A = this chain, B = another copy of it.
Amino acid sequence: MKIGILGYGNLGRGIESAVRQNDDIELTAVFTRRDPSSVKTATGIPVYSTVDAMKLKDNIDVLILCGGSATDLPVQTPEYAKYFNVIDSFDTHAKIPEHFAAVDAAAKAGGKVGIISVGWDPGMFSLNRLYANAILPDGKDYTFWGKGVSQGHSDAVRRIEGVKDAKQYTIPVPEALDAVRGGTDPELTTRQKHTRECFVVAEDGADKERIEREIKTMPNYFSDYDTTVHFITEEELKANHSGIPHGGFVIRSGKTGLDGEHRHIIEYSLKLDSNPEFTSSVLIAYARAAYRLSKEGQTGCKTVFDIPPAYLCKEDGAYLRAHML
C-alpha cells in the first residue's frame, strides 16, 4: 500500500517516521506548496509540488492531508477527495458536520473514500466516548486534557506585545479527576477541571507585570482558568520546553441495575511524548482502513465511528481472533 503526504510540517514528519514501523505501507511522495527543492525530507522521500500531485495519482493509494484545520483542510480534503482516497485530522469539532458533507459529496463523485477527523481528539477520545455511551446509557461524560502543550494557547501568548516566545501547558486538576473516578458525578466548572501554566520569554525591557496581567485576563483563552506565568530565558525555554507532549482522560461514570444501584467507571487515557507523532500513528492505521474500504468498492466520507476495528490492522481476522480477542 502506497501513501502520499500533503504538507510537510510536524504531522507530515510524524507520518514519515510512523510509516517505517509498518512494513505493509510505503511512503512514495511528499507534496508541498513551497518550492520542492527547498524541502528536504528526513528519510529521503522525494518531494513534489502540489501542482504535480495529479501526475502521481496512480502511484498513491491513500493521500494523507497534513494541513491545518483552520484554513487548509476545509479546502484541501474535499478537493483531493475527488481524485484520491484521503484522510485528515480535521479537529474543529463544531465544523465537523459541514466538513463531512463536503468530503462526502466529493469522494462520492470521485468514487473515492475519505476519512476525516482522525487522531486522538477527535479520534480515539471520540471512539471511547461513543463506546462508553453505548454501554452505559445512564451516565455522565468527562474529558480532561493534558498535561500537554496547547499550540493555540501558546500562539495566543506569543501575540502579546513584549513576548518573544512562549509555551502553554494545559493541566488537569488532580482533585477533579479523583472526584470523577470516585463516582460522585460532580458538576465541574471550567476552572475546577484544568489549570494553565505559561513559560514566557519576554523581550528585553518589556513590562512583565503587564504581560502577566494580559495573559491572565485574556477572554476565552485564560480568563476562566487559574493561570500561572513563569518568565524564563530563551535558553531555558529551548532546553526544557521544546517538546510537544500531550494527552488526557475520557471518563464515563454510569449506573446499572433495576434501581441504578451499581456504579461503573470506564476510563481511557493517553500520555504522549509527542502529540504530532501519536496523531500520525493513528492516521497511518486509518489510512490502511481507507485503502481496504476503497478496494471493497466503498465510497464517500467516513469517520472513526464507521470503521470496523479490524480494518486498522495488517493481520487478518483469524489472527486477530486467536491473538487479541
A172 CA to B124 CA, complexed, in Å? 26
Residues facing B in A114-129 (CB within 8 A) are: 117, 122, 124, 126-129
Nearest B-chain residue to A94, judged by Cβ: B322
Provide 28 A-B residue pairs closer than 8 Å at the C-beta atoms, listed in order of the A residue.
A17-B257, A18-B256, A97-B318, A122-B325, A130-B310, A130-B312, A130-B324, A131-B312, A133-B324, A134-B285, A134-B288, A135-B285, A256-B273, A256-B274, A256-B277, A256-B281, A264-B271, A264-B272, A264-B278, A264-B281, A266-B269, A266-B270, A267-B270, A268-B269, A303-B325, A305-B325, A306-B310, A307-B308
Instruction: Contacts A22-B137, A271-B265 given; indicate if A306 touches B312 (C-beta within 8 A).
Output: no
Rounded to whole Å, the gap between the CB of A163 and the closest CB of chain B is 28
Cβ A325 vs Cβ B131 within 8 A: no
Residues facing B in A248-275 (CB within 8 A) are: 256-258, 261-274
A321 CA to B305 CA, complexed, in Å? 8
Task: List 8 tightest A-B contacts by C-beta distance, closest first.
Answer: A134-B312, A262-B273, A262-B274, A305-B310, A256-B277, A134-B285, A265-B271, A126-B325
A285 CA to B266 CA, complexed, in Å? 15
Residues of B contacting A43 in the complex (Cβ-Cβ under 8 angstroms): 258
For A33-76 the 0/1 string (1 means CB < 8 A from B) is 00000000011000000000000000000000000000000000
For A58-102 the 0/1 string (1 means CB < 8 A from B) is 000000000000000000000000000000000001001100100
Cβ A258 vs Cβ B42 within 8 A: yes
For A15-26 the 0/1 string (1 means CB < 8 A from B) is 001101110000
Interface centre among A122, A130, A134, A278 (most CB of B within 10 A): A134
A257 CA to B278 CA, complexed, in Å? 9
**Which interface class (under 10, 10 to 19, 20 to 34, 35 or more) fits A?**
35 or more
Contact of A317 among B263, B273, B306 (CB under 8 A): B306
Contact of A321 among B97, B124, B127, B268 (CB under 8 A): B97
Cβ B96 vs Cβ A271 within 8 A: no
A321 CA to B280 CA, complexed, in Å? 21
A138 at the interface (CB under 8 A from B): yes
Copy total for this chain:
2
Cβ A100 vs Cβ B282 within 8 A: no
Residues of B contacting A93 in the complex (Cβ-Cβ under 8 angstroms): 325
A181 at the interface (CB under 8 A from B): yes
Residues of B contacting A127 in the complex (Cβ-Cβ under 8 angstroms): 131, 309
For A126-153 the 0/1 string (1 means CB < 8 A from B) is 1111110111111000000000000000
Cβ B277 vs Cβ A305 within 8 A: no
Cβ A273 vs Cβ B263 within 8 A: yes
Residues of B contacting A188 in the complex (Cβ-Cβ under 8 angstroms): none
Rounded to whole Å, the gap between the CB of A84 and the closest CB of chain B is 22
A304 at the interface (CB under 8 A from B): yes
